[in-house]
Structure 1
Amino acid sequence: METAFTELVGVRYPIVQTGMGWVAGPRLVSGAADAGALGILASATMTLDQLRSAVREVKSRTREGTPFGVNLRADAGDAPERVRLIIDEGVRVASFALAPSRELIARLKDAGVVVIPSVGARRHAEKVAAWGADAVIVQGGEGGGHTGEVATTVLLPQVVDAVDIPVVAAGGFADGRGLVAALAYGAAGIAMGTRFLLTADSTVPDAVKAEYLKASVRDVTVTTAVDGLPHRMLRTGLVESLERAGRTGALLRAVRHAAGFRKVSGLSWSAMVRDGLAMRHGKELSWSQVLLAANTPMLLKASMVEGRTDLGVMASGQVAGVIDDLPSCAELVERVMAEAHAVLERLHGAHPPPAPAPTAPTTAPAPTPAAPHPHGTLPPPG
């Protein structure tokens, strides 16, 4: 299935495995990439050396030339060094959780790297498109992790109409029906996080995956108790206790977690302060919110790496409530594409328009064909 997105990045299918912290490591990324999707490494929880090692491991696990990406924090103090690593290692795609600067975009594009920021609002898509981004991933409120209030079905067409670069839809996607729906809205592909987390290639502990599989749609909630920002995750006893703890208890916990994350990340206290300043400026956060943000990496690590669902949080999209199995990445992508083609076959064959009634010949000029949509149209069922 060819779309503007597959042509841009060189993948076989218009599917993205998103860069989830502690989850999107070399095994998952190489599984997604080998299956024909765009796998994206999550680098925010890696040191520079760990990122370099992860990039090389993905290359060793995949066929030569297989495209994949690295997700970066645009506001990180060492973002320029990470950009240099991506360029030096020949990574095909750089994705960003926050809007990168015009200078970072230009530097990557000059080196032939495809730049794909993630956005949660139309104005953000317009801004990065004007700065030269090659495509955008737009996440609606159904998506996991930090999220907004606008549903994908409302946000996606807004962004598609606002920019002339490929748009990839995220938030609420898990199957081929969703892919066709996104294409119908004008998107050039879909991005999935929770669905790829729940695969056999994901390194998330089995006990944690079991908690996701047990969850219903009602068990996926949005809370500000973790880091002061709206964060979609599974509702657990820990989440409820955090919500009851109050600001003072949360701040004390954040200080402890900040110290823990400093050891894991290799960052100095001064580097963490610089990152906090950048985060505060970019999101207009209070100092207490910046400190609370230290909760997130360590609380996610407790679940996603250590399997301690009693001590960690589990970021999740709403689609967790409708997922009930753990296929490999190859099986998942094959299933999504087979279902998408079946849906397209059904749509193309449903209710064909009646034959027009015969009319007398006229000499009216032929109508001017409509200009093509910048993201293409629905592909034929084959």
Structure 2
Amino acid sequence: MSRFRGSPDVVVIGAGLVGAACAYHCSLAGLRVTVVERGAIGAGTTAACEGNILLSDKEPGPELDLALLSARLWSELAAEIGAERLEYQTKGGLVVATSATTAAGLRALTAAQRGAGVDAVDIGADEVAALEPNVTRETVGGAYYPQDSQVQPMLATARIFQHLRARGVTVLPGTEVTGFLRDAGDAGDDRDDRGAGGTGDTGGAVRGVRTTAPDAPVIHARHVVNAAGTWSGRIGALAGAPIPVLPRRGFVLVTEPLPRVVRHKVYTAEYVANVASGDAGLETSVVVEGTRAGTVLIGASRERVGFDRTMSLPVLRKLAAQALTVFPFLAEVRLLRAYVGFRPYCPDHLPVIGADPRAPGLLHASGHEGAGIGLSLATGRLIARTITGAQPDLDLRPFRPDRFEEATA
């Protein structure tokens, strides 16, 4: 197998925070890693999100288990690289309820979360106001989550890749994957699978990728990780192993810099329901948080419209109006800008993590939707442990890549 001599052990497709996490943990495991990115580092979903590392918005189950592992790994990474260098903040999350019915539902959720290991504290209206003095007085209660934290996602991605380059990881931005090398099974020769018509091939094991890089048109590797975010469905299809990951558009408003007027990530209890919804139409809920720079971020919207980046004024107005119901003082604050991004949506709301039996050698790390920043480090660790044959920290069966074919069989 001389074609692997001097080649990386692992090629990671995608240089967002999930791809960075996969490369980081593979490198820690002693594997040689090359990262291939079609655009700039961290320029996709990573560049258009808020950097949340949340437990509060997850019901008990596989995703919450993944989030608990990832929250611990984020704390460890911040200690290794430096919390300030990542803008890692353990500021906590606050969920507010403005009706008795919503408050009751929230208490039921927190009780279940505490049973799963989350530090979820039920609080009354006075305690909500003490945590957030500028919150609406219409609040009847809420829940406080001291484990919720946040990073600056682009900065964290850049710092991780800086760390990885020092460890010898090769990073190839501006490089697109155009096909996969597949093991033909005869004398170890590779054949080229370019995925004609975008449908790919279900032939032999994946043994590397073809790229647009003039200096690296062919990269041999025993393992390829699909961490291409909203494009990972296309990458999977190219390898003959499709996964139903689709873009889900969202907008975020950014205010002028302010004093420390919003201390936590604050959202309404309805946000959890919207995260779990599979509706393709527009859904909005109130999410407000401050940043270290003093700006306030306002979201959140969700809709499946393909890769349409058109700025929608009606959606922006709705987000602004909803934010005023939680923080009325924002009516006197100027907006600086708004930005749009796409979350990698999966129809069952669980990410796709692990080896794909339809294409041995291929692993997926995608479909996290709006939770990719928070779940990235656990995802990377699980990928690395799968590749090295180590015991995974969690049961990977709920995240298996071929589960969608099983559901339709």
TM (norm. structure 1) is 0.27
Q: Which has the higher contact order (CA 8 A, sep 6+)?
A: 2
TM (norm. structure 2) is 0.26
* Structure with greater helix percent: 1
